[in-house]
Structure 1
Amino acid sequence: MANHIGRSWGGPGDCEALCPCPKAPCGLVDVDNVSEACTQHPPLRCKSIRTSHRPEDCPGTGRDVVVAMKRTAEARQAVIDAAADGERGFISPDLLDALDEYRAAVEHEAAEHIREDSWGRRDRWGRYENESRERGMEDAADLIDPEVEETP
Structure 2
Amino acid sequence: MSHHIGRSWGGPGHLEALCPCPLAPCGLVDRDNLDPECQQHPVGRMKTIRTGHAAEDCPGFGVSLTEAIGDTELARIAVLDVAASEDADHGDFLDALDAFRAAVEHEAAERIRHWEREAQTLLPLERGAARGAANLIDPEATE
Q: Secondary structure at the match of 2:40?
A: coil
How many aligned residue pairs are there?
112
Equivalent residue, structure 2, for 1:25? 25
Within 1, Cα distance between the matches of 2:130 and 2:8? 21
The CA RMSD measured in Å over matched residues stands at: 3.3
Q: Secondary structure at the match of 1:77?
A: helix
Q: 1:86 to 1:22 in 2, by over 3 A?
A: same
The amino acid that maps onto 2:35 is S
Q: 1:134 to 1:61 in 2, by over 3 A?
A: farther
The amino acid that maps onto 2:72 is T
Q: Which one has a bigger Cα radius of gyration?
A: 1
The amino acid that maps onto 2:75 is A
Q: Secondary structure at the match of 1:60?
A: coil
Q: Secondary structure at the match of 2:81?
A: helix
1:13 Cα deviation from its structure 2 partner: 0.8
1:138 Cα deviation from its structure 2 partner: 4.9
Q: 1:135 to 1:22 in 2, by over 3 A?
A: same
1:12 Cα deviation from its structure 2 partner: 0.3
Deviation string, structure 1 residues 54-94 (Cα, Å, up to 9, x no partner): 1110000100001111111112212221221449xxxxxxx
Equivalent residue, structure 2, for 1:41? 41
Report 1:54-133 matches (<5 A). Answer: 54-86=54-86, 103=101, 107=105, 132-133=123-124
The amino acid that maps onto 1:78 is A
Q: 1:133 to 1:52 in 2, by over 3 A?
A: same
1:16 Cα deviation from its structure 2 partner: 0.6
The amino acid that maps onto 1:5 is I
What TM-score, normalized to structure 1?
A: 0.60
Q: How many percent of aligned residue pairs carry the same amino acid?
A: 56
Within 1, Cα distance between the matches of 2:40 and 2:86? 31
| Structure 1 portions without partners, runs of 5+ | 88-94, 115-130, 143-152
The amino acid that maps onto 1:79 is V
Q: Runs ≥4 in structure 1, deviation > 4 angstroms?
A: 137-142
Within 2, Cα distance between the matches of 1:137 and 1:36? 42
The amino acid that maps onto 1:81 is D
The amino acid that maps onto 1:23 is L
What TM-score, normalized to structure 2?
A: 0.63
